[in-house]
Amino acid sequence: MKRNFLISTGGSGGHVIPATILYNHLSQKVNVIISTDKRGLKYFNKDIYQHEIINTPKLNNIFFLPYNLIMILVLTLKSFKLLKQKKIEEVFSTGGYMSLPIILAARLLKLKIYLLEPNQVLGRANRYFLNFCKKIFCYSNEIKNFPKNFESKKIIIYPLVKQSIYKLKSSNQMNDNFTLLIVGGSQGANIFDKNLKNSLINISKKIPIKIIQQTNKKNISSLKELYTKNNIENIIFDFIENFPNIIHQADLCITRAGASTLAELSVINLPFITVPLPTSKDDHQLENAIFYEKNNCCWIIDQNDFELKIERFLEDILKKKTDILEKRENLKKLNYQNTWINVNQKILEIINEN
């Protein structure tokens, strides 16, 4: 008989996307459902993934703290009932405050708990949950803020990416019109919408380029109109499910440094310029970017220098395309054993022996 798993996630795409990938890995061997808050629903197809809603409130507002603590208690009881009804035996959490009621309920029921840390800095929730978990899956052995007394719980896997990503590789040939992908992540990035378009227009007057840009829905028509008016071929989009079918068309990417986005770019061997979000908790986006920079797979630009430097930076890269080719080769080396099957076998091996 198949075991019953629950994956707890929610909030941003950075939490939810790895949860859906984990769901696909586990569902081959066990029964799986996802618990998420309402914010997380937009990042997966609700008709494909079995799911339950545990709408955990944020705990960062001191004025609502008494109310939120009561809500956590209520949601823990709801989670307890859910885990019992679904006969859940093991729980995965992708981190974040959203998982608190599920983890507390799982602890009360003495269920096996596994964690996933996709960033290069241990998240605050995962740091707390370490006390209760069997194992924590990480993408690197050098996770900042990881307590030494829990090292034995760490399991290293290749980054979780959608199965379809493995079928895509950026071409060894450059496009006739150099194609630049601009990605703000699941939350979007206003800095790319406001401070990049004029530089791209200036560059397009010297070098033929094509723009593929992710933005907020409200910006799609204005950006498209601007690029088209300046004779720049473009594809402008919001967060979409078939994102993998878009990114492999590019020669270079400008992006934030969310773990999922960088993992996807890495697997398809697409070099990138990353602008880490300076307000990310514990500066985890900068640490994500540094991991790839150390492997000579990307460039990093500080957000404070972005508007001033990006135009010259891009022009230098486009004129000296050997740097792009070198980083592409380094990405291939970094991922030469990264396959869906290898990741799948590692995950199943660990949960089966525990």
119-162 pLDDT, tens digit per residue, is: 999 999 999 999 999 999 999 998 999 999 999 999 999 999 99
Could you give the percent of the chain with pLDDT greater than 90?
67
Average pLDDT of the residues in 160-172: 80
pLDDT band per the 50, 70, 90 thresholds, residue 61? low
130 plus 184 within the same structural domain:
no
Q: Is pLDDT at 12 greater than 90 in this prediction?
A: no
Please indicate, yes or no, whether residues 108 and 215 belong to a single structural domain of this protein. Answer: no
Q: Provide the pLDDT for residue 217.
A: 83
Kindly tell me if the per-residue pLDDT of 97 is higher than 90. no
The domain in which residue 278 lies consists of 165-334
Better-predicted residue by pLDDT, 166 or 240: 166
Q: Is there a single domain that holds both residue 149 and residue 176?
A: no
* Res 349 pLDDT > 80: yes
Non-local CB neighbours of 157 within 8 Å, separated by 6+ positions:
137, 138, 139, 343, 346, 347
Lookup: tokens for 21? 């990938």
Clarify whether residues 227 and 78 are in a common domain. no
Q: Is the pLDDT of residue 171 over 60?
A: no
CATH number for the domain that contains residue 316: 3.40.50.2000
pLDDT in tens, 278-327: 888 889 999 999 999 999 999 999 999 998 899 999 999 888 889 999 99
- Asked whether residue 187 carries a pLDDT value surpassing 90, the answer given is no
Question: How high is the pLDDT of residue 173?
Answer: 61
Q: Say whether both 30 and 105 belong to one domain.
A: yes
Contacts of 302 (CB under 8 A, 6+ apart): 275, 278
pLDDT for res 201 = 93
Kindly state whether residues 152 and 179 are assigned to the same domain: no
**94, 87, 53, 121 alpha-carbon torsion, rounded to 10°:** -10
> Are 123 and 99 a contacting pair, CB within 8 Å?
no
Examine the domain organization and report whether 191 and 298 are in the same domain: yes
Do 191 and 104 share a structural domain? no
Residues 116 and 238 in one domain: no
Please give the helix or strand (H or E) that residue 212 lies within, else none: strand 209-214
Q: DSSP character for 158?
A: P
Q: Say which residue, 342 or 242, is predicted with more confidence.
A: 342
pLDDT at residue 168 in the model: 80
